[in-house]
Amino acid sequence: MDVDLHELLRSLRVWDPAVTDLPPFDPDAAPAEPLPLFARWFAEAVAAGQPEPHTMALATADAGGLPDVRIVMLHGADADGWSFATHAHSRKGDQLAGRPYAALSFYWPVLGRQVRVRGPVGAAPAEEGRADLRARSTGALAAALTGGQSAVLGSVEELARASEEAWERARVEPDAPVPSWTLYRLLPDEVEFFQGDARRRHVRLRYRREERGWVRELLWP
């Protein structure tokens, strides 16, 4: 089937009232720190039926400063930072080892909201990473045990064999260690909240960490 991509793109809208509720956002009433607002917006995205609100784009840079991005799952957000888990020897793991700095972006279209987070990234203590993996599903353990992430794969059969073994091991050994699986924490020095508006007067509120605490500022959309 041939697709006219440009025509298709022109037919699509963002902030379609049929699927999007654009709540008002009063930045003057926003809390002094970004974490409570993130928690509130996250809970509101869940309540509004946003599919997979806990997935986010994770941007890193390689040794030459060139950008890279992929989706990962948010494992937590608290005073220690926004956390996610992956293999230390994946492409992103290598990039984070070389340049321990990243950006995250969440998009919750049912509410017309975007949240961007930037800051330095560090690995959590290994025991915390293990506990985090133990608390997840058998499938998550099987995926971690399959390993090899970001290396070139010879064939889909090779993956099927490794995955079968990993699922079996995850089933019989729910505490199986996965040495390269690492919990990372991004400690933000900037968090931006974007609330879409039907008249395109989008509200952008940025929190910037300074020595004396968080500074809040509005940004032109």
Ligand X SMILES: Cc1cc2nc3c(=O)[nH]c(=O)nc-3n(C[C@H](O)[C@H](O)[C@H](O)COP(=O)(O)O)c2cc1C
**Positions at the binding site:** 91-92, 114, 149-150, 204
Among 22, 109, 130, 150, binds ligand X (CB under 6 A): 150
Both tokens of 133, joined, read 């993996």
Q: How far is the CB of 97 from ligand X (least distance, A)?
A: 12
Q: Specify binding-site residues for FMN.
A: 91-92, 114, 149-150, 204
Distant-in-sequence, close-in-space partners of 153: CB < 8 Å, separation ≥ 6: 159
Burial class from Cβ neighbours inside 10 Å (0-12, 13-18, 19+) for residue 7 reads: exposed
- CA pair distance 190, 21, nearest whole angstrom: 26
CB of 25 to ligand X, least distance (A): 27
The residue (of 92 and 206) whose beta carbon lies closer to ligand X is 92
Task: List the one residue out of 216, 164, 218, 220 whose CA is nearest residue 34.
Answer: 216
When binding is defined by CB under 6 A, the residue of 149, 187, 190, 209 that contacts ligand X is 149
Q: What is the nearest approach in angstroms of ligand X to the Cβ of residue 11?
A: 25
Tokens representing 51 are: 């599919």
User: Cβ closer to ligand X: 86 or 195?
Assistant: 86
How many other CB atoms are found less than 10 A from the CB of residue 114? 18
Site for ligand X in 34-93 (CB under 6 A): 55, 68, 70-73, 84-86, 90-92
Q: Given the complex with ligand X, which of 70 and 216 has the nearer CB atom?
A: 70
- Residue with Cβ nearer ligand X (92 or 202): 92
The values of phi and psi at residue 71, to 5°, are -90, 135
Cα separation, 124 vs 129, whole angstroms: 6
Give the binding-site size for ligand X (rule: CB under 6 A).
14
CB of 144 to ligand X, least distance (A): 8
User: CB-wise, 24 or 51, nearer to ligand X?
Assistant: 51
Cα 75 to Cα 167: distance, rounded to the nearest angstrom: 22
**In DSSP terms, which residues pair with 68 in a beta bridge?**
60
Query: How far, in Å, CA of 173 to CA of 156, rounded?
Result: 25
Q: C-beta of 214: minimal distance to ligand X in Å?
A: 28
Site residues for ligand X per CB under 6 A: 55, 68, 70-73, 84-86, 90-92, 149-150
